[in-house]
């Protein structure tokens, strides 16, 4: 079953029920920790709380290796920005 964050639903499909709130998940984390959380809408696989703020992890699927370290953390404000 696919999971979608509250934030993705608010931006893309306001009538769709959401599964989790990125900010609520991050609020429960200690600084410099992360938790695996998949948002099918945005495409991230983890939520982290760092000194710089809340970030989500995007795996680089172009890398042939199955190493989960092949990706990057993106600040939540960047993915929530609507152009």
d(CA 19, CA 44): 14
d(CA 75, CA 52): 8
Q: Which one, of 8, 74, 11, lies nearest residue 41 by Cα?
A: 8
Is the pLDDT assigned to residue 83 strictly greater than 50? no
Question: What value does the mean pLDDT of the chain take?
Answer: 90
User: Using an 8 Å Cβ cutoff, are 57 and 48 in contact?
Assistant: yes
pLDDT digits (tens, 9 = 90+) for 6-29: 999 999 999 999 999 999 999 999
Tokens of 69: 């370290």
Average pLDDT over residues 44-61: 94
pLDDT digits (tens, 9 = 90+) for 24-45: 999 999 999 999 999 999 999 9
d(CA 13, CA 65): 34
């Amino acid at each position: 079953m696919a999971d979608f964050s509250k934030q993705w639903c608010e931006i893309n499909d306001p009538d769709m029920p959401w599964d989790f709130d990125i900010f609520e998940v991050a609020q429960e984390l200690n600084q410099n920790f992360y938790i695996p959380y998949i948002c099918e809408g945005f495409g991230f696989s983890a939520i982290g709380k760092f000194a710089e703020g809340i970030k989500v992890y995007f795996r680089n699927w172009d890398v042939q290796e199955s190493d989960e370290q092949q990706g990057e953390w993106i600040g939540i404000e960047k993915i929530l920005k609507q152009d």
